[in-house]
Structure 1
Amino acid sequence: MPAKHDINKVGVESSDFPILYLTGTGLGENPYLRMSKQEFGSECKICNRPFTVFRWNPGAGARYKKTEVCTTCAKIKGVCQTCLLDLEFGLPVQVRDAALGRKNGAPSTDINKQYYIQGLESQMERSGDGTTFDAEVANRAGKEMLKNIARSDPYYKRNRPHICSFFVKGDCKRGADCPFSRHEIPEENGLQNQKLADRYYGRNDPVAKKILTQHAESKGLKAPEDKSVTTLIFLGLPKCTDSHVRSALMFTCPFLKPIDIKTISVVEASHCAFIVFVTRATAERAAEALSAQGGMEVQGKRAKVVWGRPRPAKHKGKQVEGETGVTAAVET
């Protein structure tokens, strides 16, 4: 009979201190913080393995906070264990990955998740410093973009108590004794519908979508109101072919797949290229990533990106002859 495995070798992690975004929010203003520690207190929201849970109160009038993911998952993505924001800039993972051109290599399904986690843990043990291995050479323009939009001052708004759901329904009768002290109607801005797994993997994050959209608009890449427009135009290209443009685009936007691109047309005389995407959502995401990285580099030269223009509406009309004999179109 084979020997029974040690519990700490079959997918359970223990830690002495959480990985937190110290510059931002989680610990509060008081430097002397009391924190409770419970080994194997809960399962990680990403890898579903038991891990050490830390719980604390950031300050007076704030809600209790705790770690949501294990230290291994936090190291893999370089995020805070509580808010799942980037440790360096305090921004959503989707914003950071778009600016740095990072590809999400971590599996999101349970089939390969455990194997992937164990492989990374082995690499961290061999390195000795416990650093993340889901990293790449940072894009200089993307780094500057992240520095410009990152918060420089602590932001404690996230530590506020949750809104009382009974008050929203008009049924709260506890008054001052209500543990949910925020008696207010939530603002419907679409940012409340965040899923923890989507925030961690950097996909379908409404907060990241808002940040990237605002940055794209500031760079002149505001998406046209006409939803039929799915074309991006690349200006200032060197002498190249459509294969060069395709390779550069796939490298800059690693989330794209070959089936996402409908056509690529290079106009050598004008040093530009027209890329038509299959869907509008894919075109918008590519535009956000390209604006975050300051354009796209093709054959050693950085090209500017703009949206294509909607086609002018075709006016149906009948031809009438005026007094001067000039033919004009009249709308019907």
Structure 2
Amino acid sequence: MAQKAKGDINKAGWESTDFPVLCETCLGDNPFIRMSKQDFGRSCGTCARPFTVFRWNPGAGMRFKNTVICQTCAKVKNVCQTCLLDLEYGLPTQVRDMALGVTNEAPTSDINREYYAQNMESKLQAGSTGIQGSGPTRSQSAGKEMLKQLARTDPYYKRNRPHICSFFVKGECNRGAECPFRHEMPVGDQHQNIEKNIQDRYHGREDPVAQRIMSTHAESQGLKPPDDTTITSLFLPSVPATSTEQSIRTSVFQSLSSVDPAEVKSIVHVAKTKCAFVNFKQRSTAEAAAYAWSNGLDIDGERVTVRWGRGKKKAADITPVPTPLVVVT
């Protein structure tokens, strides 16, 4: 073994596998699927290590698909090697991590990413399982319920269809039936490019698909962001009678482990009326908290509903009440 490692020292840590980690959608509905395998065909999109690339056609009329990240990175985040969606819920990692309160401190430089991946691979071989993250995991009922509501239970094979032909949209495609892309006009915002960098999609950073899913769910739960952008506070109308400011603060920070605690301006607990206010410094952070708390926030074993706070009325908008004139005779 020592001679083999010495003669192949440049391939230390490279990954070679016999079958990829895929979701049912990317695998397709064809039970007789054929795959091409290329050892060390490309570098992983997240850890930059060479890995075994698989390429296949998921079904008739579908586009060819291939793996873009290595198996180690896929197992660490429990995602598909092709679409990078969670294997259990079929959702982007940003949605899942925000609901469960999971944060990840994966390095960004090429050398550190490779070192991090090798350490994760050793832990996986030692029997460590689950999503790896540095922050606490929010095993609360509210977060899990939100994921169950958003999860896709059945495979969505339409995602494997060819992309829309951009030349057809412009009226310039002359390939006719031989064109490998779809000849149909986009509906709604389908023309917008929702593809993101692999690392951003993998680590859940500013994923447009995740943002759209979370904003739609928040609006359905009555947490549509108010038009007044100066409102950066969330209102907890009915906290438990036994709650204190410290217990509320602990629940807030545990559920927002991916958010910098410095972004929380203040937490005000009004014990007399059993309510609380969570004030943020920036509107974007308040919206992220509203997305995470769409199904409520668990405080001291009870689920508390969340609503947006109200803005302060400007002095110009307040109509002065005239003082009645009293005549003394």
Are 1:310 and 2:321 matched, yes or no? no
Are 1:177 and 2:178 matched, yes or no? yes
AA paired with 1:93? T
Alpha-carbon separation, structure 2, partners of 1:317 and 1:139? 43
Are 1:290 and 2:285 matched, yes or no? no
Indicate which of 121, 132, 135 corresponds to 1:134.
132
Closer, same or farther: CA 99–191 of 1 in aligned 2, 3 Å: farther
Q: Residues 137-190 of structure 1: CA distance to partner in whole angstroms, max 9, x if unpaired?
A: 733332232222222222111111122232234332222222224343464368
Are 1:94 and 2:94 matched, yes or no? yes
AA paired with 1:83? C
Tell me the equivalent position of 2:280. 277
Tell me the equivalent position of 1:33. 33
Q: Residues 34-68 of structure 1: CA distance to partner in whole angstroms, max 9, x if unpaired?
A: 11111111111111111111111111111100111
Tell me the equivalent position of 1:250. 253
Alpha-carbon separation, structure 2, partners of 1:221 and 1:28? 36
1:15-30 equivalences under 5 Å are 15-22=17-24, 25-30=25-30
Alpha-carbon separation, structure 1, partners of 2:180 and 2:190? 25
Name the count of aligned residue pairs. 318
Q: Measure how far apart 1:222 and its partner are.
A: 1.9
Q: Measure how far apart 1:202 and its partner are.
A: 1.3
Tell me the equivalent position of 1:149. 150
Indicate which of 211, 214, 217 corresponds to 2:213.
211
CA contact (8 A) 2:56 2:66 kept: yes
AA paired with 1:244? S
AA paired with 2:261? P
Alpha-carbon separation, structure 2, partners of 1:126 and 1:242? 41
Q: Measure how far apart 1:133 and its partner are.
A: 5.2
Q: Measure how far apart 1:12 and its partner are.
A: 0.8
Alpha-carbon separation, structure 1, partners of 2:233 and 2:122? 44
Indicate which of 227, 233, 236 corresponds to 1:234.
236
Q: Measure how far apart 1:121 and its partner are.
A: 0.9
TM-score (norm 1): 0.86
CA contact (8 A) 1:260 1:282 kept: yes
AA paired with 1:62? M
Structure 2 alignment gaps of length 5 or more: none
TM-score (norm 2): 0.86
Residue identity over aligned pairs, in percent, reads 52
CA contact (8 A) 2:101 2:138 kept: no
Q: Please tell me the root mean square deviation across aligned C-alpha atoms, in Å.
A: 2.7
Indicate which of 14, 35, 49 corresponds to 1:12.
14
Alpha-carbon separation, structure 2, partners of 1:259 and 1:73? 30
CA contact (8 A) 1:246 1:264 kept: yes
Greater CA drift, 309-318 or 153-162: 309-318
Structure 1 alignment gaps of length 5 or more: 327-332
CA contact (8 A) 2:49 2:114 kept: no
CA contact (8 A) 2:236 2:306 kept: yes
Greater CA drift, 30-39 or 209-218: 209-218
Tell me the equivalent position of 1:116. 116
Aligned to 1:275, the other structure's residue is in SS state: strand
Closer, same or farther: CA 111–235 of 1 in aligned 2, 3 Å: farther
Q: Measure how far apart 1:245 and its partner are.
A: 2.5
Alpha-carbon separation, structure 2, partners of 1:116 and 1:318? 62
Aligned to 2:315, the other structure's residue is in SS state: coil
Aligned to 1:315, the other structure's residue is in SS state: helix
Greater CA drift, 278-287 or 189-198: 189-198
CA contact (8 A) 1:234 1:305 kept: yes
1:20-99 equivalences under 5 Å are 20-22=22-24, 25-99=25-99
Closer, same or farther: CA 220–321 of 1 in aligned 2, 3 Å: closer
AA paired with 1:232? L
Aligned to 2:61, the other structure's residue is in SS state: coil
AA paired with 2:290? A
Q: Measure how far apart 1:27 and its partner are.
A: 2.1
AA paired with 2:132? D
Alpha-carbon separation, structure 2, partners of 1:175 and 1:226? 50
Aligned to 1:30, the other structure's residue is in SS state: coil
CA contact (8 A) 1:80 1:86 kept: yes
Aligned to 1:26, the other structure's residue is in SS state: helix
CA contact (8 A) 2:99 2:147 kept: yes
